[in-house]
Amino acid sequence: MITVTELRKSYRQGGRTIDALDGVSLEVPRGTIHGVIGHSGAGKSTLVRCLTLLDRPTSGSVSIDGRDLTSVKDSEVRSARRRIGMVFQHANLLDSRTAAGNVALPLELVRLPKSEKDAKVARLLGLVGLAEFADAYPSQLSGGQRQRVGIARALAADPTVLLCDEPTSALDPATTNEILDLIRELADTLGLTVLIITHEMNVVKRICDSVSLLEKGRVVEQGPLREVAGSLNGRLVQALLPLPPHNSSGTGPVLDLLTAGGSGSGPVLSELARRFSLDVTLLAGSVETLAGEQFSRMRVGLAPASEDTAPAEPLELNEVVSHLRARGVTVEVAA
Ligand X SMILES: Nc1ncnc2c1ncn2[C@@H]1O[C@H](COP(=O)(O)OP(=O)(O)OP(=O)(O)O)[C@@H](O)[C@H]1O
Contact 56, 90 (CB under 8 A): no
Residue from the set 24, 36, 37, 46 that interacts with ligand X by CB under 6 A? 46
Nearest approach, Cβ of residue 40 and ligand X (Å): 3
Nearest approach, Cβ of residue 168 and ligand X (Å): 14
Residue from the set 18, 72, 269, 303 that interacts with ligand X by CB under 6 A? 18
Binding of ligand X by 38 (CB under 6 A) = yes
What sign does the CA torsion over 79, 56, 170, 175 have?
positive
For residues 226 and 201, give the distance between their C-alpha atoms in angstroms, rounded to a whole number. 15
Contact 91, 150 (CB under 8 A): yes
Binding of ligand X by 44 (CB under 6 A) = yes
Window of 41-49, 168-176, 260-268, 321-329 that interacts with ligand X by CB under 6 A: 41-49
Binding footprint of ligand X, residue count (CB under 6 A): 12
Nearest approach, Cβ of residue 20 and ligand X (Å): 3
Nearest approach, Cβ of residue 88 and ligand X (Å): 12
Binding of ligand X by 11 (CB under 6 A) = yes
Binding of ligand X by 45 (CB under 6 A) = yes
Window of 43-51, 140-148, 218-226, 231-239 that interacts with ligand X by CB under 6 A: 43-51
Binding of ligand X by 40 (CB under 6 A) = yes
For residues 12 and 318, give the distance between their C-alpha atoms in angstroms, rounded to a whole number. 54
Residue from the set 20, 104, 213, 268 that interacts with ligand X by CB under 6 A? 20
- Distance spanning both ends of the chain, measured CA to CA: 44
For residues 35 and 222, give the distance between their C-alpha atoms in angstroms, rounded to a whole number. 10
Window of 37-45, 265-273, 298-306, 318-326 that interacts with ligand X by CB under 6 A: 37-45
Long-range CB pairs of 315-321, under 8 A, 24+ apart, other chains included: 315/252, 315/253, 315/276, 315/278, 316/276, 317/253, 319/276, 320/255, 320/272, 320/276, 320/278, 321/255
What sign does the CA torsion over 109, 113, 116, 119 have?
positive
Nearer to ligand X, 14 or 245 (CB): 14
Binding site for ligand X (CB under 6 A): 11, 13, 18, 20, 38, 40-46
